[in-house]
Amino acid sequence: MTATGAPADAIRTSLASRTAGGIGESTLRPDGVLKVTGEFAYSSDLWHEDMIWGHTLRSPLAHAAIRSIDISRALAVPGVHAVLTHEDLPTAVTTYGLEIQDTPVLATRKVRHHGEPVALVAADHPETARRAAERIRVDYEELPVVTGEESALAPGAPLVHEDRTDHRSGRVPHPNIVHRQPVLKGDAAAAARRAEVIVRGEYTFGMQDQAFLGPESGLAIPAEDGGVDLHVATQWLHSDLGQIAPVLGLPENKVRMTLAGVGGAFGGREDLSMQIHACLLALRTGRPVKMVYNRFESFFGHVHRHPAKLTYEHGATRDGRLTHVRCRIVLDGGAYASSSPAVVGNAASLAVGPYAVDDVDIEALALYTNNPPCGAMRGFGAVQACFAYEAQMDKVAARLGLDPVEFRRINAMEQGTLMPTGQRVDSPAPVAELLRLVKARPLPPERGWENGDGTADVRALPGGLSNTTHGEGVVRGVGYAVGIKNVGFSEGFDDYSTARVRLQTAGGVPVATVYTAMAEVGQGGVTVHAQIVRTELGVERVTVQPADTGIGSAGGTSASRQTYVTGGAIRHACETVRAQVLERGRGLFGRDRPEWAEAGLRLADGRVLTERGETLAELAEVLGDEPAEAEVEWRHRPTEPLDRLTGRGNGHVQYSFAAHRAVVEVDTELGLVKVVELACAQDVGKALNPLSVIGQIQGGTTQGLGIAVMEEILVDPVTARVRNPSFTDYLIPTILDTPTIPVDMLELADDHAPYGLRGVGEAPTLSSTPAVLAAIRAATGLELNRTPVRPEHLTGT
Amino acid sequence: MDFLRPAGWEEALAVKAEHPDTVPIAGGTDVMVEINFDRRRPDRLMDLGRVEELRDWEVGEETVRLGASVTYTQIMENLRTELPGLAIASHTVASPQIRNRGGVGGNLGTASPAGDAHPALLAAGAEVEAESVRGSRRIPIDAFYTGVKRNALAPDELIRAVHIARADGPQQFSKVGTRNAMVIAVCAFALALHPRTRTVRTGIGSAAPTPVRAAEAEEFLAGALEEEGLWESRGAVPPSVAAHFARLAAASCAPIDDVRGTAAYRRHAVAVMARRTLGWSWESYRGGRSAPCV
C-alpha cells in the first residue's frame, strides 16, 4: 500500500501544522475507495504463475489419539503434488506459539481441539486438493474432553498437555491451568467488614469471534537460495517470522515476508494460521503455493475471544463509596496457550475497572481445555472484566438507591489514583467527565418508529425488516458503562518499533519516504505515518512503503499501540533526519545567515524556517542530490512484570478510557432488541487523524454491541465441537443493527506519549457491551448475568 | 461436474428426463452455498438462467402464475397488492443482492423448513406447477412439503411456476431472527384472511420438520369470527379469541432445540406472532386496508 502526497480532497479539521496533511487533519485513507469498490487486492487475491493450491485436513474431533495416518490414497489423486503430515516436518522444531510453543504445526500423537490441522495437500486446483484430503485416512481413538473448570480440575481429569515443560508449568496449581495471576492490595477481608452493602454476582461471557471479512490466506514462493518468500495477511510480520523460520530450519533472512492486503484482524491474526503450512508445501514441491481458507475453515483457522466465568463481590458504604472488590475470573483458553497468559494479566490488573478501590483481592486464570483455542481479540481480557464489574456497579447503585452514573462518579479514578497493582495512573484519567458527557446528551426521541400516518417503520423497531412488531411489547431502556484498557505491550515486554525515514529531492521537490514493518490491518497507520512525516519534516509528498521484513520489527498491530509506538519511532526518525538537514544547512548557509545558529528551527512547507517563521532556505536547496536518512528503534518507557503472588508492579504503559450510554428498545414479548443509540465519550489524548479515530470508536462500539446481543461461537458441551462455524449462524451486526453512534472526543494529553496521544482502538469495545446489557436490564427488569443475551433469556423460554 | 445450459424449457425437461439426478440451478443462492461448502457434489448442474419463461408472471382473475425464477425483488416491487403476504416475506429474505437473484422456485426446490416463502404460500393458498416430459401437473401446496428438505417432485420434474391465490383480504408475515436484517428464520408465521370464503389460512416456518399450517387454529378462528358475526360487523376480535388462536398456533408446531433457538422459544414466538399478525390483519380488514406496514 502506498500513500503519495496529500489527498486532494482531504478533510481539514485543524490547522495544527503548517504543512497540509499533517497530524490533526482527517486525511483520507489511500485504500478506502478501493476497498469500498471491491478493487483492493487482499491476500486472497494473490496470484503467481505456476502456483498450486494448499489445503488443510483438520480434525473432526475435539480430543483424540492419532493411531495412524494413511496418505497413500490422497497421493494417488491426479494433480496432487504433495501430502504432508507431522512426519514430514524438516526439523526437530515441530511446534510454535506466541509465548508457549505448544501448538503443533501438524498434529502428532493426538488432536486437542475440533479443527486442529492434521495433514496438508498441495494440488493443481483447490478442489483437487480438497478431494485428495478427504482420501487421507486418519485412525482416531476418541479421548474424553475437558470443557471447563470443573472437568479441567476434577481429580483424574485428562491433561490437555500431558507433559508440560513450559516456563509457566511449575508455577500453576494444575497442569490444565495455563497461567494464574493474583492481584492483592490492602486488606479486602477487613474492608468487607466495614461494608454496609455487599453485592455478589456470577457472570458468563460467551465466545466471540473476530469475524474479520478477509479469510486467512497467503502465497509462499520458493526461492533459488533455498529460502522462501511469503506474502501473507498478518498483524505482526516479525512475530510470525520468529515462529516460522525454526520450523522450516531456515535462518530468518531466508524467510522474506511481505504484508499482503489484510481484510481485518482484531487480534485474530496474531497467531499463525497458514504461514508455515504454505511454506512447507512450497519448499517441498518447489512451486509457489497459495492457501485461502473459506469462511467455514476460517472459524477454525484463528483463535477467538476467551469465554469467561466471573465471580464478583463489591462492598460499599451507604454514602456510595466502594469498600472493596473481590473477584475471580476464569478464562477458557482452549487447547493451546496462544496469548492466554497476557490476557490473564490484563483481566487481573484491570479487574476492578476505572475506580479507586483501596482493598482488592483478585484472581484470574486461564484454563487448558479441548475447546477451540482462544487468544487475542480487541479488548484482550479487559472486555470480559468490564462486562462483569459494570453489572456489579449497577447492582450496588440500585441497592444504595443511587443513580448509576452518580455512584460511578463518586468512585471514579483520576490522575494519581493507584491501580490494584500499585501502579500510579500518571496521566489524565477523566472517568467522571466521560460519564458526564454521555449522560448530558439529549436522548433520542421516544417512539421514533412511528410514521406520521399511524403506521410503523419496522426498520426502527426490534426485529427490523422481519416485521415482528409495530410497537407491541416494546419498552425502552437506558444504560451506562465505562471501562479501562491498557495501551501497548505490558508486564516488562520489550515493546519497540523500527522506522526508517528518508528525505530527498525528486524533480526539484522535497519528498519523504517512510518505511516500517507495521501491519496495516485497517487501523489507519497508512494515513498517520504520512501525517507525522509531513508535520515533522514539512514536506507534502510522503510515500509510505509496503511493510516487509527487510527492516526491523514494528511490533504487532495490537494492544492499541501502533500509532504510539511505530508513530513514535517515525517521529524520532524524523527528528534525526531534521537534525541532519539543519546541520547540512548550517554548513552550507550558516556563514551568510546567523539565524542558522538559532534554536527552534523547523521544517514546514518545504522550507527551513526560524521559530518566528522567517524562511532560511528551501529544503531542496539544502538537500541537493544527497538524501538525508535515518533508521531508529524506539521504545516507550519500560514496564515491569507483575509480582507472581501479589500482582504488584508498574505493569502497563498507558491507560485509555471510554464511556457509553446505550439506549435500547426491547420487544419484551419476543425478546428481540433494537439498539437505538450508543453514545460514546473517549479521551484520545491527541487525535492524529480525527476521522480515523471516530471510525475506531464506532467500530469498537459496534463490536461490543455484537457480543451483547448476537455474536457467540457455540461449542457443544459434550463433544466440544463448534456448532455454528458460518455467517449463517454466527451473526455479526448489519447496518440495520448498528445504531447512531455519536462521539465526544476528549484530547487530554498524556505527556509521556508522542504528541500526547492515547491508543484508541480497544477502549470503546469494553464499555459498549455492559452499557447495552444495562439498558436491556432497565427495559426488562431482568438480571441478565450472561452475554450475549438471547431471546430465550428475555422471554424465559 | 457437467454444467448444462439449456436454451429453453423443453430442452431443460429433456435433460432432467434423461438424467434425473441433474440439479437445477437458477439464482444459485441455495445450490452454490451447498457446493461451496462441499455438502453436495452433483454430477450435473443445469443452469436455468436462459429459460425466459421462468422469469415471467401473469396476474389472472383468481391467481397469480409466478414463474419459478421471478426474483424476490420483483415480487416486492410488482406484486404487493396481489400477493401482500409473499411480498412481506420477500422483504425479509437475506440481503438485496440475494433478493435480486433468488426466487420462489428455489425455495420450493430446496424445501427447507426455514425458507421464507413457504409460510406465505401456505397462508395464501397455492399450487406448484411441476412439469416433466411426461406432462404437467399441479401439486397443492399443502401436499408439497414431504419431509425435511424433501418435496413432492418426481425425479424427472422441474418447477415451472407457482399459482398463488390473489389476496381477497389482508395478509401478514412475521419472522423471528436474532438480528434485524439478513437473518435466517428462528421461526416464522404467515396469516391470510380470506373474507370471500370466510376462512383463515396460516403458515408456520422453522418450527416443524416441514413448513406447516396451523389447521386447528385456522378452524377455531374462522368459527369464532363466524359465530360473532365479525366478518360483517368488522368488530374487534375479542382478546380471548386472539389468545386461543395463538395457543392453537403454537400447539401445531413440532420444533426442535438447535443452534438458532430452543423449541420452547419457538412455540412461544409463534404464539406471539400469531396474535400480532391477527391483530394487524384484522385492523386492516376493519379499516378496509390490506397494505402491509412495511
Q: In this predicted model, what pLDDT tens digit does every residue of A223-232 receive, in sequence order?
A: 999 999 999 9
Question: What's the angle, vertex CA B210, arms to CA B209 and CA B214, rounded to 5?
Answer: 105
Q: For A603-618, how does the pLDDT look when each residue is reduced to its tens digit (9 = 90+)?
A: 999 999 999 999 999 9
- Cα four-point dihedral sign B13, B14, B20, B25: negative
pLDDT score of B290 more than 60: no
Please tell me the predicted confidence (pLDDT) of residue B294: 44
Q: For A388-422, how does the pLDDT look when each residue is reduced to its tens digit (9 = 90+)?
A: 999 999 999 999 999 999 999 999 999 999 999 99
Q: Identify the band that residue A337 occupies on the pLDDT scale cut at 50, 70 and 90.
A: very high
Nearest to B280 among A470, A671, A709 (CB): A470
Output the nine-digit C-alpha cell for A37: 469498490
Check CB contact under 8 Å for A467 and B37: no
Q: Which residues in chain A touch residue B175, judged by CB atoms under 8 angstroms apart?
A: 466-468
Smallest Cα–Cα separation from A208: which of A766, A776, A779?
A766
Q: Which residues in chain A touch residue B279, judged by CB atoms under 8 angstroms apart?
A: 472
Please tell me the predicted confidence (pLDDT) of residue B289: 56
| Closest residue, chain B, to A713 (C-alpha) | B259
Q: Does B84 touch chain A (CB under 8 A)?
A: no
Q: Which residues in chain A touch residue B30, judged by CB atoms under 8 angstroms apart?
A: none
Q: Which residues in chain B touch residue A456, judged by CB atoms under 8 angstroms apart?
A: 293
| Closest residue, chain A, to B260 (C-alpha) | A729
Q: Does A795 touch chain B (CB under 8 A)?
A: yes
SS3 B119: helix
Check CB contact under 8 Å for B184 and A728: yes
Task: Write down the residue that cell numbers 515486554 correspond to.
Answer: A493
In this structure, whether the domain defined by B187-287 belongs to CATH 1.10.3720.10 is answered with no
Which ranges of A216-339 would DSSP assign to H, the alpha helix?
Answer: 237-248, 275-285, 295-301
Q: Does B272 touch chain A (CB under 8 A)?
A: yes
Q: Tell me how far apart the alpha carbons of residues A358 and A239 are, in angstroms, rounded to a whole number.
A: 38
| Closest residue, chain A, to B270 (C-alpha) | A670
Q: Does A738 touch chain B (CB under 8 A)?
A: no
Q: Does A468 touch chain B (CB under 8 A)?
A: yes
Q: Which residues in chain B touch residue A790, judged by CB atoms under 8 angstroms apart?
A: 178, 261
- How close B92 gets to chain A, by Cα (Å)? 5
Task: Write down the residue that cell numbers 408456520 correspond to.
Answer: B204
Cβ atoms of residues A75 and A137 within 8 Å: no
Q: Give the number of A-B residue pairs with CB atoms closer than 8 Å.
A: 109
Neighbours of A612 (CB within 10 A): 8
pLDDT score of A464 more than 90: yes
| Closest residue, chain A, to B182 (C-alpha) | A734
Phi, psi of A660 (to 5 degrees): -130, 150
Q: Does B175 touch chain A (CB under 8 A)?
A: yes
Contacts of A677 (CB under 8 A, 6+ apart): A443, A444, A661, A662, A663, A739, A740, A741, A742
Check CB contact under 8 Å for A737 and B174: no
Question: Maximum CA pair distance of chain A?
Answer: 86
Rounded to an integer, the average pLDDT of A362-375 is: 98
Q: Identify the band that residue A13 occupies on the pLDDT scale cut at 50, 70 and 90.
A: very low
Q: Tell me how far apart the alpha carbons of residues A561 and A540 are, in angstroms, rounded to a whole number.
A: 25
Check CB contact under 8 Å for A465 and B178: no
pLDDT score of A88 more than 60: yes
Check CB contact under 8 Å for A797 and B36: no
Please tell me the predicted confidence (pLDDT) of residue B38: 82
Q: Tell me how far apart the alpha carbons of residues A272 and A269 are, in angstroms, rounded to a whole number.
A: 7
pLDDT score of A7 more than 80: no
Which ranges of chain B would DSSP assign to H, the alpha helix?
Answer: 9-18, 31-36, 72-78, 84-91, 96-99, 104-110, 117-124, 215-227, 230-233, 239-251, 263-287
Residues in chain B: 294
Rounded to an integer, the average pLDDT of A194-201 is: 98
Cβ atoms of residues A480 and A404 within 8 Å: yes
Cβ atoms of residues B25 and B5 within 8 Å: no
Burial of A507 (0-12, 13-18, 19+ CB in 10 A): exposed
Q: Which of A128, A298, A468, A719 to mutate to test the interface with B (most CBs of B within 10 A)?
A: A468
Check CB contact under 8 Å for A733 and B273: no
CA distances, A762 to each of A345, B135, B232 (Å): 16, 64, 62
Q: Does B128 touch chain A (CB under 8 A)?
A: no
Q: For A89-136, how does the pLDDT look when each residue is reduced to its tens digit (9 = 90+)?
A: 999 999 999 999 999 999 999 999 999 999 999 999 999 999 999 999
pLDDT score of A14 more than 80: no
Smallest Cα–Cα separation from A258: which of A503, A546, A29?
A546
Which ranges of A538-589 would DSSP assign to H, the alpha helix?
Answer: 562-589
- How close B196 gets to chain A, by Cα (Å)? 26
CATH numbers and ranges of domains, chain A: 32-40+496-635 (3.30.365.10), 44-143+215-262+269-301 (3.90.1170.50), 429-483+651-795 (3.30.365.10)
What single letter denotes the amino acid at residue B28?
Answer: G
CA distances, B120 to each of A116, B84, B90, B99, B105 (Å): 43, 9, 9, 16, 14
Q: Tell me how far apart the alpha carbons of residues A732 and A702 are, in angstroms, rounded to a whole number.
A: 9
Q: Does B176 touch chain A (CB under 8 A)?
A: yes
Q: Residues A81, A87, A93, A98: what is their CA dihedral angle, to the nearest 10 degrees?
A: 70
Nearest to A736 among B181, B259, B260 (CB): B181
- How close A450 gets to chain B, by Cα (Å)? 11
Q: Which of residues 12-71 of B touch A (CB under 8 A)?
A: 36-38
Question: What's the angle, vertex CA B162, arms to CA B158 and CA B165, rounded to 5?
Answer: 165
Neighbours of A742 (CB within 10 A): 17
Check CB contact under 8 Å for A463 and B176: yes
Q: Which helix (H) or strand (E) holds A390?
A: helix A382-400
Rounded to an integer, the average pLDDT of A150-177 is: 96
Task: Write down the residue that cell numbers 416485521 correspond to.
Answer: A467
Q: Tell me how far apart the alpha carbons of residues A670 and A474 are, in angstroms, rounded to a whole number.
A: 9
Preceding amide of A288 cis, omega within 30 = no
Please tell me the predicted confidence (pLDDT) of residue A454: 82
Q: Does A472 touch chain B (CB under 8 A)?
A: yes
Rounded to an integer, the average pLDDT of B104-126 is: 97
Burial of B134 (0-12, 13-18, 19+ CB in 10 A): exposed
Check CB contact under 8 Å for B268 and A294: no
Please tell me the predicted confidence (pLDDT) of residue A162: 93
pLDDT score of A5 more than 50: no
Over the range A190-212, which residues count as b (16 or more CB within 10 Å of their CB) and which as e?
ebbeebeeebebebebbbbbbbb
Q: Which residues in chain A touch residue B294, judged by CB atoms under 8 angstroms apart?
A: 458, 465, 467
- How close B178 gets to chain A, by Cα (Å)? 7
Q: For A630-642, how does the pLDDT look when each residue is reduced to its tens digit (9 = 90+)?
A: 999 999 999 999 9
SS3 B128: strand
Q: For A477-517, how does the pLDDT look when each residue is reduced to its tens digit (9 = 90+)?
A: 999 999 999 999 999 999 999 999 999 999 999 999 999 99
Check CB contact under 8 Å for B265 and A674: no
Check CB contact under 8 Å for B180 and A456: no
Question: What's the angle, vertex CA A594, arms to CA A590 and CA A597, rounded to 5?
Answer: 75
pLDDT score of A557 more than 50: yes
Please tell me the predicted confidence (pLDDT) of residue A18: 66
Contacts of B164 (CB under 8 A, 6+ apart): B63, B64, B66, B83, B86, B121, B124, B125, B126
DSSP code at position B228? T
Please tell me the predicted confidence (pLDDT) of residue B39: 86
Q: Tell me how far apart the alpha carbons of residues A197 and A407 are, in angstroms, rounded to a whole number.
A: 13
SS3 A51: coil
Q: Which residues in chain A touch residue B120, judged by CB atoms under 8 angstroms apart?
A: none
Rounded to an integer, the average pLDDT of B193-218 is: 98
Please tell me the predicted confidence (pLDDT) of residue A393: 98
Return mean pLDDT, chain A. Answer: 96
| Closest residue, chain B, to A676 (C-alpha) | B180
Nearest to B177 among A459, A466, A472 (CB): A466
- How close A666 gets to chain B, by Cα (Å)? 12
Output the nine-digit C-alpha cell for A434: 466521560
Q: Tell me how far apart the alpha carbons of residues A21 and A334 are, in angstroms, rounded to a whole number.
A: 46
Check CB contact under 8 Å for A670 and B293: no
Q: For A727-765, how does the pLDDT look when each residue is reduced to its tens digit (9 = 90+)?
A: 999 999 999 999 999 999 999 999 999 999 999 999 999
Q: Which of B35, B36, B72, B179 to mutate to test the interface with A (most CBs of A within 10 A)?
A: B179
- How close A67 gets to chain B, by Cα (Å)? 27
Q: Which residues in chain B touch residue A472, judged by CB atoms under 8 angstroms apart?
A: 276, 279
Q: Provide the whole-model pTM.
A: 0.96
Return mean pLDDT, chain B. Answer: 95
ipTM: 0.96
Smallest Cα–Cα separation from A766: which of A685, A708, A724, A695?
A708
- How close A74 gets to chain B, by Cα (Å)? 17
Q: Tell me how far apart the alpha carbons of residues B62 and B64 are, in angstroms, rounded to a whole number.
A: 7
Please tell me the predicted confidence (pLDDT) of residue A188: 98
CA distances, A578 to each of A186, A567, A575, A655, B200 (Å): 50, 16, 5, 31, 82
- How close A715 gets to chain B, by Cα (Å)? 10
Q: For B34-80, how does the pLDDT look when each residue is reduced to its tens digit (9 = 90+)?
A: 988 888 889 999 999 999 999 999 999 999 999 999 999 999 999 99
pLDDT score of A176 more than 50: yes
Q: Which residues in chain B touch residue A724, judged by CB atoms under 8 angstroms apart?
A: 259
Q: Which residues in chain B touch residue A723, judged by CB atoms under 8 angstroms apart?
A: 259
Check CB contact under 8 Å for A294 and B259: no
